[in-house]
């Protein structure tokens, strides 16, 4: 792995992926995205890992797709490179992924953060879709996820002007979960990760799937899907453990079975 650092045992049941092209503000070239996809797929298959944190560094989560890498491409080059199949695979990660964002989260960087399930940001974080300033549009979900998260008026303004929003604005718009001082953003993401990692991994995976379904379907079909996943949790030992622990007034010890 050249452009990411992977720590499978960052904390108990928590893995950390750091984007690692600091000089280029973690610009997302094709290799980095491939490595990220490979790491997430590996972590999805690693039983000890229950929650994944993706982060950058203090200055940048990621300043977007690598402009230098794609500047000379034509439309057919872009079609053949088919970078979004990698993004689709990333999106299919089953375990919860938390983005710990400081500094720039722009273009593909903002889209990557939004592809994650939750976002913890430092006070210095800046979110934006500045593609319009370089003559293109968002391409990795920016127009869709941003609009769903913050509404049409705000998304339209960000996408059409390319202006950045601060972490506080992102919080008040409902784009992110929490803003903390810069020295604490990774710690705060870990705190959230550990809390989720203490739950039944079976229930967590099914719950993530059910929440995500709400973006893809109408209410009736979404409720049906949710109900099936709810029933499925009753096939797990964790359901018995969780309910018995409640009745016996003790802490549940989940095994992911």
- The residue ranges that bind ligand HXC (CB under 6 A) are 24-25, 27, 63-68, 104, 106-108, 130-131, 134, 138-140
CB atoms within 10 A of CB 139: 16
Select 144 or 233, whichever has its Cβ closest to ligand HXC: 144
CB of 33 to ligand HXC, least distance (A): 8
CB of 140 to ligand HXC, least distance (A): 4
CB of 40 to ligand HXC, least distance (A): 16
CB atoms within 10 A of CB 164: 18
Select 15 or 40, whichever has its Cβ closest to ligand HXC: 40
Select 39 or 197, whichever has its Cβ closest to ligand HXC: 39
CB of 47 to ligand HXC, least distance (A): 31
Q: Are 120 and 188 spatial neighbours (Cβ–Cβ below 8 Å)? A: yes
Could you give the residue numbers annotated as active site? 65, 108, 111, 131
Select 27 or 190, whichever has its Cβ closest to ligand HXC: 27
- Tell me which residue of 45, 51, 69 sits closest to 11, measured CA to CA: 51
Q: Is the torsion defined by CA of 8, 10, 12, 15 positive or negative? A: negative
Q: Are 146 and 205 spatial neighbours (Cβ–Cβ below 8 Å)? A: no
Angle, alpha carbons 80-86-90 (nearest 5°): 165
> φ and ψ at 170, to 5 degrees?
-60, -35
Q: Are 211 and 204 spatial neighbours (Cβ–Cβ below 8 Å)? A: no
CB of 24 to ligand HXC, least distance (A): 4
The token pair that represents 213 in the structure block: 């379904």
What's the CA gap between 44 and 42, in Å, rounded?
Answer: 5
Select 106 or 180, whichever has its Cβ closest to ligand HXC: 106
What's the CA gap between 45 and 43, in Å, rounded?
Answer: 5
3-class DSSP string for 38-84 = HHHHHHHCCCCCCEEEEECCCCEEECCECHHHHCCCCHHHHHHHCCH
């Amino acid at each position: 792995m050249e452009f990411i650092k992977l720590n499978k045992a960052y904390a108990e049941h928590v893995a950390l992926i750091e984007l690692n092209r600091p000089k280029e503000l973690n610009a997302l070239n094709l290799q980095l995205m491939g490595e990220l996809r490979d790491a997430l797929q590996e972590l999805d298959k690693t039983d000890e890992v229950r929650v994944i944190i993706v982060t950058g560094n203090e200055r940048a989560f990621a300043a977007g797709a690598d402009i230098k890498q794609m500047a000379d491409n034509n439309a057919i080059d872009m079609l053949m490179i088919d970078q979004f199949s990698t993004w689709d695979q990333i999106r299919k990660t089953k375990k919860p992924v938390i983005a710990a964002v400081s500094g720039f989260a722009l273009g593909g960087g903002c889209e990557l953060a939004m592809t994650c399930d939750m976002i913890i940001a430092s006070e210095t974080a800046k979110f934006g879709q500045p593609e319009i300033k370089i003559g293109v549009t968002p391409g990795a979900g920016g127009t869709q996820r941003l609009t769903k998260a913050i509404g049409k008026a705000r998304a339209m303004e960000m996408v059409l002007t390319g202006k950045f929003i601060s972490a506080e604005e992102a919080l008040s718009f409902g784009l992110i979960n929490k803003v903390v001082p810069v020295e604490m953003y990774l710690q705060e993401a870990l705190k959230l990760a550990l809390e989720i990692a203490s739950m039944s991994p079976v229930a967590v995976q099914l719950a993530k799937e059910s929440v995500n379904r709400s973006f893809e379907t109408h209410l009736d079909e979404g409720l049906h899907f949710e109900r099936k996943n709810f029933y499925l949790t009753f096939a797990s030992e964790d359901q018995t453990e969780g309910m018995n622990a409640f009745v016996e007034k003790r802490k549940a010890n989940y095994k992911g079975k």
